[in-house]
Amino acid sequence: MQAPLMNMQGQEIGTVELPDDIFNIEVNEAVMHQALVRQLANKRLGTHKTKTRGEVRGGGRKPWRQKGTGRARQGSIRAPQWRGGGTVFGPRPRSYAKRMPRKMRRLALRSALTVKAQAQEIIVLDELSMEAPRTKAMAAMMDALGVERKALILLPESNENVELSARNLPNVKTLRANYLNVRDLLGYNVIVMPRQSIDVIASFLSEDTASEPEPVAEEE
């Protein structure tokens, strides 16, 4: 699959080849959904907690004697039916983490990239560099490229000037290509990346690298 190659001024200067085994496969929506649910679940902290009657302070003395008062039997003022008492079956600290085979995670990424490529929502730049952090220059580049909605910039490596330039733009996010994830791919309308990022993506998503270790994902 071929895509137009643009420069930072928004001019088309050629074409670039996108690997078919990554950007042009049969889309598997079920695996994409599973990968997205997994990523959102793994982000949850699971630290919420309420106290049971054994953890609430006080209530060690029996409020009144067992018989002869005409009232119901009570053993503690920290029982669940009392105000200030413990909670029954309340939330406890737990892990929401879900597991997913590596092949399925990579298939989800390929499917998401294919969806973006088929919708022509991938913009490939010949290079992306800035001499100094300038938000105004980044905004001008986005306008020149015709980006009017949320954009994800995939960088082949850390680039402080580009990252700082995009940080104050509300609808733009920078991400290193080896931290690629389904949530960001589906959550942003346009993917902008220099062509060096294609090699980084191919290094762990290409079929030729199926047996190689996967880079650390952002949600892990």
Of the residues 35, 62, 90, which one is the last residue of a structural domain?
Answer: 90
- Residue 129 domain flag: yes
pLDDT at 62: 94
Whether residue 31 sits in one domain with residue 63:
no
Whether residue 25 sits in one domain with residue 66:
no
Question: Rounded distance, CA 162 to CA 154, Å?
Answer: 11
Mapped onto helix, strand or coil, the DSSP state of residue 154 is strand
* Residue pair 76/53 in contact by the 8 Å Cβ criterion: yes
Q: Return the number of other C-beta atoms located less than 10 Å from residue 119's C-beta.
A: 10
Whether residue 72 sits in one domain with residue 15:
no
Q: Return the number of other C-beta atoms located less than 10 Å from residue 29's C-beta.
A: 10
What six digits make up the tokens of 82?
A: 């009392």
Mapped onto helix, strand or coil, the DSSP state of residue 214 is coil
Whether residue 82 sits in one domain with residue 110:
no
pLDDT at 215: 56
- Residue 219 domain flag: no
pLDDT at 208: 66
- Residue 218 domain flag: no
Whether residue 170 sits in one domain with residue 108:
yes
| 203 φ/ψ angles, rounded to the nearest 5 degrees | -65, -25
CATH code at position 153: 3.40.1370.10
- Residue 199 domain flag: yes
- Residue 220 domain flag: no
Residues 6+ apart with CB under 8 A from 205: 22, 106, 109, 110, 113
pLDDT tens digits for the chain (220 residues)?
888 898 889 888 888 999 999 999 999 999 999 999 999 999 999 999 999 999 999 999 999 999 999 999 999 999 999 999 999 999 999 999 999 999 999 999 999 999 999 999 999 999 998 989 999 999 999 999 988 889 999 999 999 999 999 999 999 999 999 999 999 999 999 999 999 999 999 999 987 665 555 555 544 4
Mapped onto helix, strand or coil, the DSSP state of residue 172 is strand
- Range of 8's domain? 2-45+99-209
CA dihedral 25, 28, 34, 35 (to 10 degrees): 10
Residues 6+ apart with CB under 8 A from 11: none
pLDDT at 79: 95
DSSP string, 37-50: HHHHHHH-------
- Residue 124 domain flag: yes
**DSSP label at residue 145:** T
Mapped onto helix, strand or coil, the DSSP state of residue 124 is strand
Whether residue 193 sits in one domain with residue 162:
yes
- Residue 217 domain flag: no
